[in-house]
Amino acid sequence: MEFFAWCVVAAGIGMGLGSFGTGIGQGMAIKAACEGVARNPGASGKILTTMMIGLAMVESLAIYVFVVAMIILFANPFTEQVVQLLVK
């Protein structure tokens, strides 16, 4: 049972770190885009487009972390081996 508890802890820590990094990255991107538009309002269209593409790339990190956490929790490939070890 300890293995499954560690899986839950690992998934939780992974989601926390992944979300923290994603949030910081998106905040910095939006800050830089706002500064760029403030300096050159004529380039706001290009800045907005580039920012949206960048935010989508950063957000994909959070999605990858979520997928890995769900694999750890529900589709862990080592579950059968651990259960067999615990039964012995």
pLDDT digits (tens, 9 = 90+) for 6-33: 888 999 999 999 999 999 999 999 999 9
| H or E stretch covering 43 | none
Whole-angstrom distance, CA of residue 64 vs CA of residue 56:
12
Using the structure block, give the residue that is written with the tokens 């979300």: 19
- Tens-place pLDDT, residues 32-72: 999 999 999 999 999 999 999 999 999 998 899 999 999 88
Whole-angstrom distance, CA of residue 59 vs CA of residue 63:
7
Domains located in the chain, CATH noted: 2-87 (1.20.20.10)
This prediction has a pTM of: 0.73
Quick check: 13 and 75 in contact, CB under 8 A? no
